[in-house]
Amino acid sequence: MKKKFEKDTSGVLLICSKKGLKKYFSNNTFDYNYPDGILPLINNGLVIALTTESSEDIKGELIDLSMNDYKGYKLYGEQNFFIEEEDEIYILSHSEFTQICSNHNGDIDAFSFWDKKIMVDNLRAGWTIAFTHCKMRSDSMYLTTIIQLIYTKERFPYPEVSTIPRF
């Protein structure tokens, strides 16, 4: 799987499980405090989040392939991420994420996207480790990132996160 994307992040890029968001917000209310409101979602494996202070415009790829063909990228972090059976993964800006979670109780289908919807489906269900690789180009206003999903049988025993990686 390889999905290329471009996104104006509004300061935070989020990769979200459609089913996971809906389940979580059926029992929880959205917390507007950043990053505290997103940390429980990260720690439950429902969201991958990246603070994009260095550039709000991102070009990237979501892959489940080797990084051997990608040169010049630095590993910025890793997070557990859970994919439900027949789930869809969405790449969202912080403003899209906030609207979906606060106004639509995590129901992505109830949201009318302002920009092009960026979605990936037909993924293997279960736990993955999401490795975030980035590089800045001096000749571009875009931050370039690769989110690499590595499938695992069980959740990797990372400690709970208390911060979100910044670029």
Q: Report the pLDDT averaged over residues 71-99.
A: 93
pLDDT band at 167 (very low <50, low <70, confident <90, very high): low
Catalogue the E-assigned strands of the chain: 2-8, 12-17, 47-51, 57-63, 74-83, 89-93, 119-120, 126-136, 143-151
Q: Report how far residue 138's alpha carbon sits from residue 79's, in angstroms, rounded to the nearest whole number.
A: 28
pTM of the entire predicted model: 0.89
Q: From 121, 126, 96, 122, select the one nearest 111 (Cα to Cα).
A: 96
pLDDT at 157: 85
Please enumerate in sequence order all residues whose Cβ is within 8 A of that of 76, keeping only pairs 6 or more positions apart, or say none.
Answer: 50, 132, 133, 134, 165, 167
Predicted local distance difference test score (pLDDT) of residue 150:
94
Q: Give residue-wise pLDDT tens across range 100-148.
A: 999 999 999 999 887 788 999 999 999 999 999 988 766 666 778 999 9
Taking phi over 0 as left and psi of -120 to 50 as alpha, with beta for the rest, 122 belongs to: left
Give per-residue pLDDT as tens, 13-62.
999 999 999 999 999 999 999 889 999 999 999 999 988 875 678 889 99
**Contact between 84 and 2 (Cβ < 8 Å):** no
Confidence band of 4 (pLDDT split at 50, 70, 90):
very high
Instruction: Using DSSP, state whether 88 is helix, strand or coil.
Output: coil
Tell me phi and psi for residue 99, to 5 degrees.
Answer: -60, -45
CB 56 within 8 A of CB 10: yes
* Alpha-carbon gap, residue 160 to 153, rounded angstroms: 19
More confident residue, 77 or 83: 83
Task: For residue 8, give both structure tokens.
Answer: 């104006």
Mean pLDDT, to the nearest integer, of 67-75?
Answer: 88
Q: What residue type is assigned to position 128 of the chain?
A: T
Q: Is the pLDDT of residue 3 over 80?
A: yes
